[in-house]
Amino acid sequence: MTEDTACVEFRHVTKIYNKSQLPAVSDINLKIARGAFCCLIGTSGSGKTTLMRMINRMNPITKGTVLVNGQDVKNLNPVNLRRHIGYVIQSNGLMPHMTIKDNITIVPRLLKWSEDKIEQKVQELIQLAELPTEFLNRYPAELSGGQQQRVGVLRALAADQDLILMDEPFGALDPITRETLQDFVKKLQTQLDKTIIFVTHDMDEALKLATQMVIMNEGKVIQDDTPVNILHQPANEFVKNLLGEDRLEEAQHYTVQVGEIMLTDPVKINIGASLTQALSVMKNRHVDTLLVTDDSNHLKGFISVSKLDKRYHHVDSVSDILETKLATLHPDSYLRDYAGKILQGNMTYVPVVDHQDKLVGIVTRSALVNLVYSTIWGSTEGNIQGADKHE
Amino acid sequence: MAHLNTWQQLIYYYQHNGLYVWEQFSRHFLVSIYGVLFAAIIGIPIGIYVARNHHLADFVISIANVIQTIPSLALLSIIMLGLGLGVNTVIVTVFLYSLLPIIKNTYTGMSNVDANIIDSGRGMGMTKWQILYMIQLPLSLSIIMAGIRSALVIAIGITAIGSFVGAGGLGDIITRGINATNGAALIIAGALPTAFMAIITDTVLNFLEKWLQPAALKNS
């Protein structure tokens, strides 16, 4: 994901609808990188849908340039352009008179794919969506809202579109279904490496899904950054209000990095040391395991006192009882991504290594627990269960 | 034949003029069908066009409405001035009367197609033509058929009056009954098959309409 290969780029884009004087969006400059999950978020009437619909020329562009993969969309045939951009709308837009299979294969058929290729694609997609194959012969009305929208998403992928536009796709669904579909879309996006532009007014949804968040108000971009940065540094009062107090407070925890809470003097031993030396280090430091490093501090594994005890009389070097299966963290990872795993597992600590695999510290269970207590559970006491689930 | 009652006379008439009645029946039916067919050929595209250009809809439909308000005998006479006596005058009259139900139903059917579905079709890269035949027509076909059905039932009634301008058909038999003394049996001999034709047409087209309705929407 490099900045210079923007998948979609807006240059001074303005849109004025026929009968109104005020621009719906004005002078937008925006880059959306390939592989990004970009959420356009704002109140209704902020121009987010208008902006999105200019990408596939569903809305004509009044002024400025929209580039898709470096090409000005004004120079492209709109019909052909749209066939190569996935499109999902709120009310799923499935054709009620076509079966699920016919619905999914609309774009491939418009593109005149061969029957074999279409059939293959259908099977691939239905498995991806974890829907039973007999659904293919059903009509949309026979499916639940969530299933319909799942099909709506599949349809947008059917012709291998790399860019997918979604206009509040889950707005009409109940919270539980919405969450499953969010996970589904996120999974697809990362697995298949798609670029998704996602219009929403649901902040939780945006924070959960986005790698890039564009906050809009009155036709202008207010802030364009990663969710973490936006939570950390909201551009102005409007963004703060949009985020809400609770989220900003939670964000403190949200953005703690491993490096900030790790202990930098882990108990370690050189791989060449003898077991006697290991035993004395353990005794002095009151620990039951030791991290093992080589001469240049590369983490090699660990040894435990139980194994040492068993093998003490048979071997004499640390390397003989070394266990190499070891989970590690990087100092710049976010704790929110790992806290749950560490707390749920029975690890008492996790070694932290830098990008050269050098041991730089450890994160202990107690440090983590303290952090979790002080930041989330401490501030929103009633939410323990919710926070638990969140992790 | 004065010794027979009306029903006996009717049966007597059918026994002796069966072939003639059948001839008039098919002539009557064809005149109606032709008029409606031409109206469908012209009216459906007009309906589609006004559905796309909503500002024209009121204008076009009110013109069709005005035509509908002219009494059929008057309209027949006016057209007769141009086309003279004969079957063509009746076909043109049927055509004009059929325009309203066909245009109106096509317009309604097309406008009732969910805008979101059309939007998603367009967003997937369908051309206007593809949107028309892949989405709009299949979804509005049963409503268009309902328009054709009511047009055809109206047409059968108008064709009966068409005998006044020399178009033939079952109206001939009815007219003869009206002009004859004690012609009740003749009137019934013409009116009965006319009514029968209208009912059968209505039933068959109703069935066709249901059949054309998209499978998924049949239950709703």
Q: Look up the CATH number of the domain holding residue A84.
A: 3.40.50.300
- pLDDT higher than threshold 90 for residue B197: yes
- Say whether both A134 and A227 belong to one domain: yes
* Sign of the four-CA dihedral A17, A21, A27, A30: negative
CB-based contact A96 B120, cutoff 8 Å: no
Say how many domains are in chain A. 2
Let me know the angle formed at the C-alpha of B174 by B169 and B175, rounded to the nearest 5 degrees: 95
Residue with tokens 């009954």: B177
Pairwise CA distance, residues A182 & B176, whole Å = 77
Residue type, B114: D
| A126 and A274 share one domain | no
> Which pLDDT value is given to residue B209?
86
Which of A 52-111 lie inside 8 A of B, CB atoms?
56, 58, 79-84, 87, 89-97, 106-107, 110
Spell out the per-residue pLDDT of chain A, length 391, in tens. 444 568 899 988 888 888 777 788 888 899 998 889 999 998 888 888 889 999 989 988 888 999 998 888 889 999 999 999 999 988 878 998 899 999 999 999 999 999 999 999 999 888 888 888 888 999 898 888 888 998 999 999 898 888 999 998 888 888 888 888 988 898 888 888 899 999 998 888 888 888 999 999 888 899 998 888 888 888 888 888 888 877 777 666 656 777 777 888 888 888 888 888 888 888 888 888 888 888 888 888 888 888 888 887 888 788 888 888 777 888 877 776 677 677 777 677 888 888 788 888 888 887 777 776 766 554 444 444 444 444 3
Task: Decide if A141 and B216 are in contact by the 8 Å CB cutoff.
Answer: yes
Examine the pLDDT at B149 and tell me if it is beyond 90: yes
In a shared domain, residues A44 and A68: yes
The pLDDT score that the predictor gives to residue A4 is 56
Count of alpha carbons within 13 Å of A318, Cβ hemisphere only? 26
Distance CA B117, CA B179 (A): 59
Chain centroid offset of residue B119 CA: 34
- Give dist(CA A306, CA A287) in Å, integer: 12
A87/B123 Cβ within 8 A: yes
For residue A281, count CB atoms less than 10 angstroms from its CB and return exposed for 0-12, middle for 13-18, buried for 19 or more: middle
Q: What is the CA radius of gyration of chain A?
A: 26
Q: B27-213, what's its fold?
A: MetI-like fold (1.10.3720)
Please check whether residues A189 and A304 belong to one and the same domain: no
What are the percentages of helix, strand and coil residues in chain B, rounded to 5?
85, 0, 15
Which amino acid makes up residue B85? L
Tally of CA atoms within 13 A in the half-sphere of B9 that contains its CB = 16
Q: Are the beta carbons of A234 and A195 closer than 8 angstroms? A: no
Token pair listed for A234: 């909201």
Pairing of strands A195-200, A163-167: parallel
pLDDT over threshold 80, residue B195: yes
In terms of domains, do A235 and A270 share one? no
Closest CA in chain B for residue A155:
B124
pLDDT of residue B30 exceeding 90, the answer is yes
Name the residue type at position A53: R
Q: Judge if A40 and A57 occupy the same domain.
A: yes
State whether A246 and A350 are in the same domain.
Answer: no
Average pLDDT across chain B, whole number: 90
Alpha-carbon distance A149 to A164, whole Å? 14
Q: Are residues A139 and A287 in the same domain?
A: no
Write the CATH number for A346.
3.10.580.10
- Mean pLDDT score, B159-165: 90
Shortest CA distance from A99: residue in chain B: B216
Split at pLDDT 50, 70, 90, the class of B215 is low
Residue B50 C-alpha, separation from nearest chain A C-alpha, in angstroms:
21
Per-residue pLDDT, A90: 81
Is residue A37 domain-resident?
yes
Residue of A nearest to B117 (CA): A93
The first and second tokens of residue A87, run together, are: 């499109």
Domain hosting A325: range is 259-373
Check residue A1 and give its pLDDT.
42
Asked if A96's CB is within 8 angstroms of B214's CB, the reply is: yes
Whole-complex ipTM: 0.77
**A165 neighbourhood in chain B, CB within 8 Å:** 123
* One domain for residues A228 and A281: no
* Predicted confidence (pLDDT) per residue in B55-77, tens digit: 998 899 999 889 889 998 899 99
The verdict on A195 and A284 lying in the same domain is no
Cβ distance A95 to B135 less than 8 Å, yes or no, reads yes
**Across-strand partners of A40?**
A199, A214
> Quick one: DSSP state of residue A375?
I
Q: What is the pLDDT of residue A3?
A: 46
Residue of chain B whose Cα is closest to the Cα of A141: B216
- In a 3-state reduction of DSSP, which class is residue A84? coil
User: What is the C-alpha separation between B194 and B78, in angstroms, rounded?
Assistant: 25
| A389 Rama class: left (phi>0) / alpha (psi -120 to 50) / beta | alpha
A146 and A26 part of one domain: yes
C-alpha distances (whole Å) from A327 to each of A220, A291, A351 are: 45, 12, 7
Looking at the structure, do residues A204 and A274 belong to the same domain, yes or no?
no
Element (H, E) at B122: helix B115-123
Among A234, A254, A274, residue at a domain's last position: A254
Is residue B21 within 8 Å of B192, Cβ to Cβ?
Answer: no
Domain positions in chain B are: 27-213
Q: Determine, for residues B122 and A97 on separate chains, whether the beta-carbon distance falls below 8 Å.
A: no
In Å, what is the CA distance from A308 to each residue of A326, A327, A347, B44? 17, 21, 19, 90
**CA A87 to centroid of chain Cα atoms:** 20
Among the listed residues B211, B106, B188, B110, the one whose alpha carbon sits nearest the alpha carbon of residue B151 = B106
Helix axis angle, B137-161 relative to B170-179, nearest 10°?
30
Q: Are the Cβ atoms of A97 and B214 closer than 8 angstroms?
A: yes
Name residues 21-80 of chain B within 8 A of A (Cβ).
none
Instruction: Give the Cβ contact number of residue A133 at 10 Å.
Output: 12
